[in-house]
């Protein structure tokens, strides 16, 4: 065994305002284990010893009792074990918080040592949309052949809930026009702790606003493409901008947190400050900027920003820092890196495929919304089969749209709590990237 936290190699940051107190859980994987805050989806990858201690501290809520358990197992002196444990845990802000009671209730165990199961899934309830934006990565419009029914989605939600998933995103197309959307929403809110709806904000009835507010665990993410004229032009509908802002006002007045997402391009980068100001007035909690990274699709389509344009956007962020809403974009990466550098935690995130899945409207499971390669079919196979190491290794090498899946860099040493035997695994090559992501994959790869 290694010193507690010596394997710590990751963290991620979710974009929530006023985060609730952490809901810590353990998420097992074939080559390691994570300590996850199931509310924010922040996590750290821990050594086996640190995971065991976390589970035992959370159970006993006592450093002395945890030391006595560990002394019993190792047949050593409890005081000696306790002194060593306290010294090891004092080595980082996170583990030293454990010594002060941060783990105050038993940890929920999710994941598997045989497969990579998701902490987050985005469910494309339908590919249909009531708009047809030039910008849409999902090429939404017509239904896909063989789209899942509401009955199917209810079953998907039940399986994901039973597997211990922490959050789902209902997306599309426009998810609110999926058949029996309200029934799917009522199921999701009851079974899953955190539910996001990615919507264009059009045609939200008063009843749907009231229902979403009653749920209490729902956030709405509304995409904005620029100031009013530009947004309406891209969306192909006059008044779309104003209607989306009106929906924001009604949702926030009812108590539903609203996140605004904007993909920044050479065409709209000057609009950032104006949009931030407008959506702040409409009550949005968070503004999340994404950009198309200047390789691949971005290059081909001319969506990449020049360094001067990036500097201009950062200036606009700084100008609007006094507003109520929180801004989060690629400019946060530097701060994040600096913040985490002193404790030696490189930036990590909910790696597509390995920690987050996208379930397409036809039931195919892909690493993320912009990736066409499937690694399973959601209702045709058990989740544990879909998340097999071998399948993920394959999709990792064949993925064309999603580059983030290659950024996973788990330790090569198998190091599982309690000496768990790992399942069949495939060695993963180290991949590095200067890009950083957020927990909800809200920036960095062109999907908004």
Q: Which two tokens stand for residue 96?
A: 């030293």
> Cβ of residue 36: shortest distance to a second copy, in angstroms?
14
> Cβ of residue 97: shortest distance to a second copy, in angstroms?
19
Alpha carbon distance 368, 374 (integer Å): 10
Alpha carbon distance 236, 217 (integer Å): 32
User: Is the Cβ of residue 239 or residue 419 nearer to a second copy in the bound state?
Assistant: 419
User: Is the Cβ of residue 212 or residue 264 nearer to a second copy in the bound state?
Assistant: 212
CB 230 within 8 A of CB 268: yes
Alpha helices in 119-227 (DSSP H): 150-163, 181-191, 206-215
User: Is the Cβ of residue 21 or residue 421 nearer to a second copy in the bound state?
Assistant: 421
Reading across the β-sheet that carries 24-29, which strands appear in turn?
Answer: 43-46, 32-37, 24-29, 108-111
User: Is the Cβ of residue 85 or residue 279 nearer to a second copy in the bound state?
Assistant: 85
CB 135 within 8 A of CB 302: no
Going through 224-332 in order, the beta strands assigned E by DSSP cover 258-264, 286-291, 326-328
The burial of 308, by beta-carbon neighbours within 10 Å (0-12 exposed, 13-18 middle, 19 or more buried), is given as exposed
> Cβ of residue 110: shortest distance to a second copy, in angstroms?
7
Neighbours of 230 (CB within 10 A): 18
> Cβ of residue 391: shortest distance to a second copy, in angstroms?
16
User: Is the Cβ of residue 266 or residue 419 nearer to a second copy in the bound state?
Assistant: 419
> Cβ of residue 241: shortest distance to a second copy, in angstroms?
27
Closest Cα partner for 57 from 32, 27, 26, 19?
Answer: 26
> Cβ of residue 254: shortest distance to a second copy, in angstroms?
10
> Cβ of residue 191: shortest distance to a second copy, in angstroms?
6
User: Is the Cβ of residue 276 or residue 359 nearer to a second copy in the bound state?
Assistant: 359
CB 291 within 8 A of CB 263: yes
Instruction: Count each helix (H run) and each strand (E run) in the chain, helices first.
Output: 15, 14
Give me the count of residues in the chain: 448
Q: Interface with a second copy by CB under 8 A: which residues? A: 28, 52, 55-56, 59-60, 62, 64-66, 68-73, 75, 78, 106, 108-113, 151-152, 154-155, 157-159, 161-162, 164, 182-183, 185-187, 189-191, 193, 207-208, 210-211, 213-217, 382, 384, 418-421
User: Is the Cβ of residue 170 or residue 262 nearer to a second copy in the bound state?
Assistant: 170
């Amino acid at each position: 065994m290694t010193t507690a936290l010596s394997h710590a190699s990751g963290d991620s940051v979710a974009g929530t305002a006023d985060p609730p107190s952490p809901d810590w859980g353990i998420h097992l994987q074939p080559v390691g284990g994570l300590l996850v805050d199931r509310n924010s989806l922040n996590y750290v990858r821990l050594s086996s010893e640190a995971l065991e201690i976390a589970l035992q501290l959370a159970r006993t809520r006592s450093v002395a009792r945890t030391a006595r358990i560990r002394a019993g197992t190792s047949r050593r002196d409890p005081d000696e074990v306790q002194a060593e444990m306290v010294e090891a845990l004092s080595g980082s802000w996170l583990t030293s918080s454990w010594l002060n009671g941060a783990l105050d209730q038993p940890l929920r165990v999710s994941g598997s040592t045989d497969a990579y199961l998701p902490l987050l899934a985005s469910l494309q309830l339908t590919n249909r949309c009531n708009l047809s934006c030039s910008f849409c990565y999902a090429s939404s419009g017509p239904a896909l052949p063989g789209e899942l029914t509401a009955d199917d989605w209810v079953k998907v939600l039940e399986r994901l809930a039973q597997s211990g998933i922490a959050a789902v995103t209902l997306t599309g197309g426009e998810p609110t026009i999926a058949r029996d959307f309200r029934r799917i929403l009522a199921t999701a809110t009851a079974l899953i702790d955190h539910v996001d709806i990615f919507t264009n904000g059009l045609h939200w009835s008063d009843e749907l606003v009231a229902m979403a507010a009653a749920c209490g665990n729902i956030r709405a993410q509304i995409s904005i493409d620029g100031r009013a004229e530009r947004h309406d032009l891209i969306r192909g509908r006059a008044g779309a901008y104003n209607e989306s802002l009106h929906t924001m006002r009604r949702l926030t007045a009812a108590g539903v947190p609203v996140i605004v997402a904007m993909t920044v391009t050479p065409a709209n980068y000057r609009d950032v400050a104006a949009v931030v100001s407008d959506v702040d007035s409409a009550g949005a909690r968070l503004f999340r900027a994404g950009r198309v990274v200047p390789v691949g699709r971005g290059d081909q389509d001319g969506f990449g920003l020049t360094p001067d344009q990036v500097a201009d956007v950062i200036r606009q962020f700084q100008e609007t820092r006094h507003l109520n809403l929180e801004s989060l974009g690629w400019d946060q990466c530097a701060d994040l890196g600096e913040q985490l550098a002193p404790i030696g935690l490189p930036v990590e995130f909910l790696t597509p495929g390995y920690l987050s899945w996208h379930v397409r409207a036809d039931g195919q499971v892909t690493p993320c919304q912009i990736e066409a390669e499937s690694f399973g079919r959601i209702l045709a196979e058990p989740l544990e089969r879909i998340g097999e190491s071998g399948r993920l290794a394959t999709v990792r090498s064949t993925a064309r749209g999603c580059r983030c899946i290659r950024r996973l860099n788990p330790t090569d040493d198998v190091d599982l709590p309690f000496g768990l035997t790992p399942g069949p695994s495939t060695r993963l090559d180290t991949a590095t990237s200067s890009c950083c992501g957020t927990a909800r994959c809200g920036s960095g790869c062109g999907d908004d």
